[in-house]
């Protein structure tokens, strides 16, 4: 969970697919401000690839690109904000918000953090690293993640999860470069984005089942908010 919190249960994940498309559409619109052609826009190229990996409908994808690039005549105005604080039981949390109404988003965050603690700017971010995060899986048997990380120029990597997905960590400026280099090292890139990784994550083993459920419920409520793009929880594993 250290890289980015994700709902554990498959039924929750399935029900969240519509919200995922909505969040990705926002990312696409923001990236498309710098050009509608992914070939000439590295940020857009990465988000488009991520959208394709989760099977976003082509019409939805194209509409988001055109809208963000100003080709539809519609005005797109989103503001980004980061909220810091703690989930129940002092688990640090960073929340990326992308909203067309900052007052609504701020009000929602105050309500959502009532079960935890909303902090001030810098109260939690000092204990996080800002990194490029690339999720990738072996494209063929024998692909070695450690070798791939070195050859592609990644700074570090997280051990593969139960589905065989490795997270390669990069300097923010090297995100696109490394994501392009990994396929030559035998890995298929599933997603590539900037994010936050906790330096001193809380060990879930220090929480009992009830406490862990409280943390999970808190994180799920944050993730369900329409203005929230990403939730980074300081939980190990």
CA distances from 158 to 23, 146, 179, 211 (A): 25, 10, 15, 26
CB 133 within 8 A of CB 50: no
Pairwise CA distance, residues 106 & 101, whole Å: 9
pTM: 0.80
SS3 assignment, position 180: helix
CB 168 within 8 A of CB 149: yes
The tens place of each residue's pLDDT in the chain, 237 residues long, gives: 445 656 555 444 555 678 888 889 999 999 898 899 988 888 888 889 888 888 899 999 999 999 999 888 887 788 899 999 999 999 999 999 999 999 999 999 999 999 999 999 999 999 999 999 999 999 988 899 999 999 999 999 998 888 889 999 999 999 989 999 999 999 998 888 889 999 999 999 999 999 999 999 999 999 999 899 999 999 987
Q: Which residues contact 145 (CB under 8 A, 6 or more apart)?
A: 138, 157, 160, 166, 168, 187
Looking at residue 2, its pLDDT comes to 46
CB 167 within 8 A of CB 3: yes
CA distances from 184 to 38, 46, 139, 174, 179 (A): 20, 17, 10, 16, 10
Looking at residue 77, its pLDDT comes to 83
Which domains are present in the chain? Answer: 10-68 (1.10.10.200), 79-126+199-233 (3.30.70.980), 129-198 (3.30.70.980)
Looking at residue 8, its pLDDT comes to 56
Retrieve residue 50's tokens: 């991520």
């Amino acid at each position: 969970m250290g890289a980015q919190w994700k709902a554990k249960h498959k039924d929750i994940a399935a029900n969240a697919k519509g919200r995922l498309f909505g969040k990705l559409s926002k990312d696409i619109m923001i990236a498309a401000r710098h050009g509608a052609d992914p070939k000439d826009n590295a940020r857009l190229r990465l988000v488009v690839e991520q959208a394709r990996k989760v099977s976003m409908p082509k019409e939805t994808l194209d509409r988001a690109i055109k809208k963000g690039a100003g080709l539809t005549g519609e005005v797109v105005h989103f503001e980004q904000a980061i909220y810091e604080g703690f989930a129940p039981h002092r688990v640090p949390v960073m929340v990326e918000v992308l909203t067309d109404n900052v007052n609504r988003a701020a009000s929602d965050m105050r309500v959502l953090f009532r079960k935890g603690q909303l902090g001030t700017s810098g109260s939690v971010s000092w204990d996080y690293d800002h990194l490029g995060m690339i999720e990738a899986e072996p494209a063929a048997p024998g692909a070695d993640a450690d070798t791939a990380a070195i050859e592609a120029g990644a700074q570090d990597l997280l051990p593969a999860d139960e589905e065989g997905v490795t997270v390669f960590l990069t300097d923010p400026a090297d995100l696109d470069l490394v994501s392009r280099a990994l396929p030559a090292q035998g890995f298929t890139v599933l997603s590539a984005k900037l994010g936050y990784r906790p330096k001193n994550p809380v060990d879930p083993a220090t929480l009992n089942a009830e406490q862990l459920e409280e943390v999970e419920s808190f994180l799920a409520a944050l993730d369900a908010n329409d203005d929230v793009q990403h939730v980074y929880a300081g939980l190990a594993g």
